[in-house]
A and B are shown apart, each in its own frame.
Chain A
Amino acid sequence: MVAVPETVERVRRIDVDQYRYGFETLIESDKAPKGLSEDTVRFISAKKNEPAWMLEWRLEAYRRWLTMTEPTWARVNYPKIDYQDIYYYAAPKPKKTLSSIDEIDPEILKTYEKLGIPLREVAILEGVEPPPGGEPSANRKIAVDAVFDSVSVATTFQKELKAAGVIFMPISEAIREHPELVQKYLGTVVPTSDNYFATLNSAVFSDGSFVYVPPGVRCPMELSTYFRINERNTGQFERTLIIADKGSYVSYLEGCTAPQRDENQLHAAVVELVTLDDAEIKYSTVQNWYPGNSEGKGGIYNFVTKRGDCRGRNSKISWTQVETGSAITWKYPSCILRGDNSSGEFYSIAISNGFQQVDSGTKMIHLGKNTSSRIISKGIAAGKSQNTYRGLVSAHRKATGARNYTACDSLLIGDKCGAHTVPYVEAKNFSATFEHEATTSKISEDVLFYCIQRGLSQEEAVGLVVNGFAKDVLQKLPMEFAVEAQKLISISLEGSVG
């Protein structure tokens, strides 16, 4: 039995209009002239005091981008983007070199406070610093890099990370301070020619995070970046590069929000992960960009290229994502399983409501021997949204013993939304074992009535059922994020601000 009209209507009404991160911070900013040209690229490079090689790299990407066309294969519809009507660089003003967090514009600090992001160096759960000389208690802390429009405004816990040998800094700084590492790895996972949006990003990216974990080091705390688009008509093009050297481990969290605006804004990020022998990266995202209003006006166009390269033997990359925001999501965090015995994981919850369109999934490219991958995708569609899982699992000729398990489950709320599953499977090696399971279900009126008869409100009932549906993936998130994600799932479907 399908949800009755009352339920559907209620879910529709309470949805996206209640985006609670939609406020704007009034702050002066320093912008590049509108539009995209070689001059824009030079402007950004100069703002960042970049070395000549970096500028060349960008210009090459820009020239290639001019020869490319926007991809149309995804199941998303949007009016043509005018790439000359976007600001490619905006930085909060005044921009002087900051030596401590206290020098950050208080307006920006307030913004992050409103977002619930701990920029001040505080322990997350206890809210206290360890006693002087005491052991820093690793698992209670999260080091944060905050990116506001085009620049990184603060990175916390620098000292403690440095003691462990971990480099965690804005990529703009890493280009200047660790050029050998950046040059060695930048663009080796997502080449400048990779795809239309990744190439655009290569030309104009302004900031993002850089992480290097040296051999044998287990990063002493979770690393985290919060991205915030504030300026009007501004695109955000962040670039993240994470390298886990031999035998190291790092867990990285990413969160994003933007103000509520009538016009659409472009977000085209690139994330590159590299794991060497026996290393592991766990990358978690809670994406909550502004999804547009209930009529489908406004919202972020989220065209993101995320890819990890398991370059070393026995290395592992695990992607976990909770996608609730954005008008359009076009995103396929992938793993190249190059090293023998390497493994890749993709755990995803994608929620669409209102007029949101999601086309997301993953690619697991098995190249090495005895590589394994696992895909668990939970799509939840409500309102008039369209939710597509698109995934590729492939085994190279030489990928003896490749194994994949894929489970794609879709949940529909109402009868005006759609869920689609588009799996591609290519096995060129006879020893490959690929399994694929997919289900589609609806929240039935009987289930809702049962919950409501027991005293839960309609909204609580929907939230409960959806959280149950997404549980397998929620369990993969770090604890602090799991709580946040659970709330977010309820909010994006219910509007009841918890």
Chain B
Amino acid sequence: MALLEVRDLHVGIEDCEILRGLDLTVNAGEVHAIMGPNGSGKSTLSRVISGKPGYQVSAGQILFKDEDLLAMEADERAAKGVFLAFQYPVEIPGVTTMNFLRAALNAQRKARAQMEFSTPDFMKRVREVAKSLNIPQGMLKRGLNVGYSGGEKKRNEILQMALFEPSLCILDEIDSGLDIDALRIVAGGINALRSPERAMIVITHYRRLLDHIVPDVVHVMSKGQVRKSGGKELALELEARGYAQFEDAA
């Protein structure tokens, strides 16, 4: 059984079809990279899987652990183990990162009928993870992402990913706006979370990220479909020859 199975997915927004019959199968333990030009539908795919409102699914299905993902609200999907690391994480003034993390983690645990973490256990866990990502304690006491640098925001996404222990991680351009050092830290955090039970979908424009997070499968997306899939060497080929060849194939 695949962890995630996307079949013939057609999705539009305001009468404009963005995904046009997309198929994708991701097994537990695998890391998939999705590459493709701007407007090919990569980010739309990540939002539809995670349940952002406003998209119309006209055909196809998404199965996650053999369940119909499209029938669930976004918070249910989160509790089932779907995590999206945002390209542009939002700022929430007045809500400290620590409080946000606790509210979110406890909401997920409640939805799964698990005990909420005690405050000391929770704090201890957050501190451990934060340390491994070079996140200073002071940052956790500030408003969520308020005044964070681009790199800090992305590290905060990985912090949440580590804390929530999702089974499917979708990383939407996690490398955008990162300098070399920040990229190394973020990639290190992601690699540390690779496990046989967990799958990742890494969306990126650049091969550079895939030097740090080595994928098992690379997909090339164009005009709302997966045009070609292959091993990690496909990323090198793309860099040498560009996306144009795949668009022509459409």
* A residues with CB within 8 A of B: 4, 6-7, 444-447, 449-458, 460, 464-465, 467-472
Q: Is the CB of B53 within 8 A of A449?
A: yes
Q: Is the CB of B78 within 8 A of A452?
A: yes
Which chain B residue lies CB-closest to A466? B94
Q: Is the CB of B53 within 8 A of A455?
A: no
For the complex, give the distance between the alpha carbons of A452 and B88 in Å.
Answer: 15
Contacts of B242 in A (CB 8 A): none
Could you name 28 residue pairs across A and B whose Cβ atoms are closer than 8 Å?
A: A4-B53, A4-B54, A7-B53, A444-B90, A445-B53, A446-B88, A449-B53, A450-B89, A451-B104, A453-B52, A453-B75, A453-B83, A454-B78, A454-B104, A455-B79, A455-B111, A456-B75, A456-B103, A456-B104, A457-B107, A464-B92, A464-B95, A467-B95, A468-B94, A468-B95, A469-B93, A469-B94, A472-B94
For the complex, give the distance between the alpha carbons of A6 and B108 in Å.
Answer: 22
Contacts of A453 in B (CB 8 A): 50-52, 74-75, 78, 83-84, 86
Majority DSSP secondary structure for residues of A touching B: helix
Which chain A residue lies CB-closest to B78? A455
For the complex, give the distance between the alpha carbons of A453 and B83 in Å.
Answer: 7
For the complex, give the distance between the alpha carbons of A467 and B99 in Å.
Answer: 12
Which chain B residue lies CB-closest to A460? B107
Q: Is the CB of A467 within 8 A of B53?
A: no
For the complex, give the distance between the alpha carbons of A445 and B143 in Å.
Answer: 19
For the complex, give the distance between the alpha carbons of A450 and B103 in Å.
Answer: 13
For the complex, give the distance between the alpha carbons of A166 and B80 in Å.
Answer: 58
For the complex, give the distance between the alpha carbons of A468 and B74 in Å.
Answer: 22
B29 CB to nearest chain A CB (Å): 23
Closest 10 CB pairs of A and B: A468-B94, A455-B108, A468-B95, A471-B94, A454-B104, A455-B78, A455-B107, A450-B90, A452-B74, A447-B90
Contacts of A464 in B (CB 8 A): 92, 95, 100, 103
For the complex, give the distance between the alpha carbons of A453 and B52 in Å.
Answer: 8
Which chain B residue lies CB-closest to A444? B90
B142 CB to nearest chain A CB (Å): 12
Is there a chain A Cβ closer than 8 Å to B164's Cβ?
yes
Is there a chain A Cβ closer than 8 Å to B19's Cβ?
no
Which chain A residue lies CB-closest to B160? A454
For the complex, give the distance between the alpha carbons of A269 and B84 in Å.
Answer: 52
Which chain A residue lies CB-closest to B144? A468
A489 CB to nearest chain B CB (Å): 12
Contacts of B105 in A (CB 8 A): 455
Contacts of A458 in B (CB 8 A): 75
For the complex, give the distance between the alpha carbons of A456 and B83 in Å.
Answer: 13
Contacts of B108 in A (CB 8 A): 454-455
Contacts of A457 in B (CB 8 A): 75, 107
Contacts of B100 in A (CB 8 A): 454, 464
A413 CB to nearest chain B CB (Å): 15
A3 CB to nearest chain B CB (Å): 10
- Given known A4-B54, A449-B53, A468-B143, contact A455–B92 (CB-CB < 8 A): no
- Given known A445-B54, A449-B53, contact A468–B92 (CB-CB < 8 A): yes
Q: Is the CB of B164 within 8 A of A6?
A: no
B52 CB to nearest chain A CB (Å): 5
For the complex, give the distance between the alpha carbons of A471 and B93 in Å.
Answer: 9
Q: Mask for B116-159, Cβ within 8 A of A = 1, else 0?
A: 00000000000000000000000000010000000000000000
Contacts of A460 in B (CB 8 A): 103, 107
For the complex, give the distance between the alpha carbons of A239 and B192 in Å.
Answer: 65
For the complex, give the distance between the alpha carbons of A450 and B91 in Å.
Answer: 10
Q: Is the CB of B86 within 8 A of A450?
A: yes
Q: Is the CB of A447 within 8 A of B92?
A: yes
Contacts of B93 in A (CB 8 A): 468-469
Q: Which of B52, B53, B143, B164 contacts A454 (CB 8 A)?
A: B164
Task: Please provide the chain B residues from 44 to 70 with a CB less than 8 Å away from any CB of chain A in the complex.
Answer: 50-54
